[in-house]
Structure formats: structure tokens, C-alpha cells
Structure 1
């Protein structure tokens, strides 16, 4: 599924729709360059999951993981500062990524190192991948794909 947004507010609105359709245990992987809108989209996803409007959803670049309370617990993970698979192992992400909450991972490409045996995510692991790209000024091209979900009955398909 492909979407275009032209303002941060539109990106947040798309995030709200995504959040409204997520289920317990969903793993959302965000891919995109610095400033492409990953955190802005996450702010909308959190709102769609019921995080209070007055709770500030920010990138956990230095804390690595922020937890928010919505209708389902949300774990917002930022891997920007992670440089190796061993650093990932030390974070203990397995219980978060594969738990009953919703995990949203910025810089998700770091979960897939060149040496696949060091990857925390198996290629067959069900997940929602969202790629964000600049198109012009504040416009973004956002592509959502479901990986290894088996069938097309996930509620995220209602976004089309």
C-alpha cells in the first residue's frame, strides 16, 4: 500500500489510521533516512492506539526505548545509535519485539545485519514494514507492506 503525505499533520493522520488497526503483538519496522518522518508517523500511531494527546511521543534516540500506555502497550525503539549486533543483544529486545505489546522500531534496518545469523528478526517473522521517503519539501512517500502475515485478513488492509 502506498500513500503520499504533504505535511507533518497528514503524516500524523496516516499514523492514527495505522494505529487504530494494529493488534497486540504487532511488530512495526520503520525504514527511512534521517528526517524522513519516522517519529512523526510514530506520534500518529501512538494516538491511534489511544495514547493521550497531552503525552509527548518523542524519538528515544538516547534512551533507546520509550514505553507508552494506550489500549495496548507500545514500545517505541530507536536503533539509530546502535552500531553492532552485540549491542542489540545486550538490550534484551527479544521479549519486547515478540511480546504482547506493539513494538515500533525506527532504523529497523539495524535488526538485519549483513551476517543474517546475528539478526534478531528471522526472515519468516511476521511484521509490518513501513518505508518513508522524501519526495519534495515536506512531502513523503510512505509504503506499507505486510511480511509473512499468511493471509490478508490483518486489519491494516482496511487502509487501502
Structure 2
């Protein structure tokens, strides 16, 4: 599935994240791609609200802590890989445990997880197979293009396919 949308404000980006978050379940992984200021953290705030994050909780980018965990209807693991440069650094974080856990993983700067395969395509490392790829791109002062791609998710059973 590939869907392209345009949001015209941070509020619309947040709302789109919320709609997607409502459809996520245990074991889902959301890989976020986009440059600085593209809206990855804003989108993540919406995802977390859709996953039932209490109103008194605030989602902050874990740029320096690398991983934040939040309560919701299921655990929310929010990773920011911006500061990591090597696979060794990522392996030391114990990412396999996070990705195979009982919550939802949301990864900012997901391109750091990708490695070229022999077919010159990209495939994720750390055992991530089925996932959502969300690419955010600045289109204007407040506008963002949001490209949603599903990878190895069953269209007959996964709720993300009901997104309108």
C-alpha cells in the first residue's frame, strides 16, 4: 500500500499521526524518514495520542536519551537515531529487544537502520520485517507531504488498511 497525503499545518500532521496510531497494535513498527524540521516528532506525538498516551504525558524527541518509553493502551517505544553513526552504537542499545517487544516501536531517522541488500534495494536490519514507512517532506512553511508505505503487512487483517 502506498498513500500520499498533504498536511497544511502542524495540527493536521498531528491528527494524521493520531488516526494512524489508533490503528496500530502490539508488534507494529513505524519507521520515520525526513530531514530536520520535517515533522517526525510532531507526527510521533499524534501516533502516541492515537495509541492512548494520557493527556498529561508529553512526547519529546529522544535525541539525547535515544529511547523513550511511554504508557498507552500498549507500550510505546520512541527511538531517535539521529546521533548514532555506526551499527556498533545501535547494537549496544539492544534494539532487537525493543523491536521484538510487546509494544509499538516508532523510529525517527530510520534511514540509520537500513542497509543495502545484494539487489541494491534497502531492507531494515535488526529483524524488522513488516512495518510502516512514513516519509515526511517539507513542502512550504507549514505544509508537509506524507508518504505512507506498508511493507509485508497483511491487507486483509491489519487495521492500517482502513485508513481513509
Shift of 1:53: 1.5
1:72-111 to 2 correspondences below 5 Å: 72-111=74-113
Q: Is the partner of 2:96 in helix, strand or coil?
A: helix
Partner in structure 2 of residue 148 of structure 1: 152
Shift of 1:34: 0.7
Shift of 1:152: 4.3
1:41-120 to 2 correspondences below 5 Å: 41-114=43-116, 120=125
Q: Is the partner of 2:56 in helix, strand or coil?
A: coil
Distance 1:63 1:11, change over 3 A: same
Which whole-Å CA distance do the structure 1 matches of 2:68 and 2:12 have between them?
A: 24
2:141 pairs with one of 127, 131, 137:
137
Query: What is the aligned length?
Result: 157
TM-score w.r.t. the length of structure 1 is 0.92
Which whole-Å CA distance do the structure 2 matches of 1:132 and 1:27 have between them?
A: 16
Give the structure with the higher percent helix. 1
Distance 1:121 1:150, change over 3 A: farther
Shift of 1:156: 0.8
Please state if 1:13 is matched with 2:15: yes
RMSD: 1.6
TM-score w.r.t. the length of structure 2 is 0.90
Task: Decide whether the 8 Å contact of 2:115 with 2:125 is kept in 1.
Answer: no
Task: Decide whether the 8 Å contact of 1:94 with 1:120 is kept in 2.
Answer: no
Shift of 1:2: 1.4
Shift of 1:121: 3.9
Task: Decide whether the 8 Å contact of 1:75 with 1:101 is kept in 2.
Answer: yes
